[in-house]
Amino acid sequence: MAKCYRSELVGVFGCPIDENPTGVMEEAAFAAKGLDFRYITMKVEKDDLEAAMKGLRAVNMRGINLTIPHKVNAVKLVDELSPEAQVIGAINVVVNKNGVLWGDNSDGKGFMKSLTDRGIDAAGKTFTILGAGGAARAIAVEAAMHGASKINIVNVSARGEELSALINEKTQAKAEYISWIPGIKVPEETDILVNATPLGLYPNVNERPDIDYSSITPEMTVCDVIFNDPNTLFLQAAAGQGAETVNGLGMLANQGAINFTLWTGVEAPVDVMTETLKKEFNLK
């Protein structure tokens, strides 16, 4: 058989995207498993997503990740959706199955794995989620599927109402929409507080959600989906209140491992991926 000089291509579409470290993690995993795959980080503006998805097919890419602002808009651009993605209404990973684009959402799965890795069980817990975008939708649905008893959605727009209605209709969990006013208090019933907004994402590392941080208690677990910089002001303030904190690196590594296996059919080297991210951010 002749030698193959063509690498399998995967990557990510997003904007902003320059500071996204996913490629470093995935490339390390490909090397660890001896796979001839390349991960390409691509800036795709919101209005160019449809053309980019057509390009994915045209150049026979094996798949793609989707990040801000594409997770919701990409749903209508794929041919098939996983059952979870159908409920969530947002996707962050696409697999090209011989020209058929299949979309899934590994954000919520990766987030829940980051909790279980810390010995935190979602069953019976009350979640308060800040935001109602793609990441918030994925986390809310997966939390409900993992047995959360109640999910509070804190948001400034009608998307929050829509998401809470979705949880109430499609899952066993109870959901409540809370209108986000400046300095809002975290509901006392909260067991797990999640920042699922982009606030704190590089280069805006000096931003944090506008809530009353004195309402965070030591009994709460406080999580952030932001991975760049993972030591967000949001988590720093929560730690100052005595809360246990979970940064976005675990979610990033775990969802990346899921994507790796979807594209390659090979079990992901999660340890390699996690250590690569830690080195990238100079963490111990």
Q: Active-site positions?
A: 71
What's the CA gap between 55 and 255, in Å, rounded?
Answer: 24
Q: What is the DSSP letter of 74?
A: G
Strands 93-97, 63-66: pairing is antiparallel
Helix 270-280 vs helix 248-264: angle between axes, to the nearest 10 degrees?
130
CA 234 centroid distance within chain: 17
Taking CB atoms within 8 Å and a gap of at least 24, the contacts of 22-25 are 22/65, 22/252, 22/256, 24/276, 24/277, 24/280, 25/252, 25/253, 25/256, 25/273, 25/276, 25/277, 25/280
Closest C-alpha among 56, 97, 53, 44 to residue 76: 53
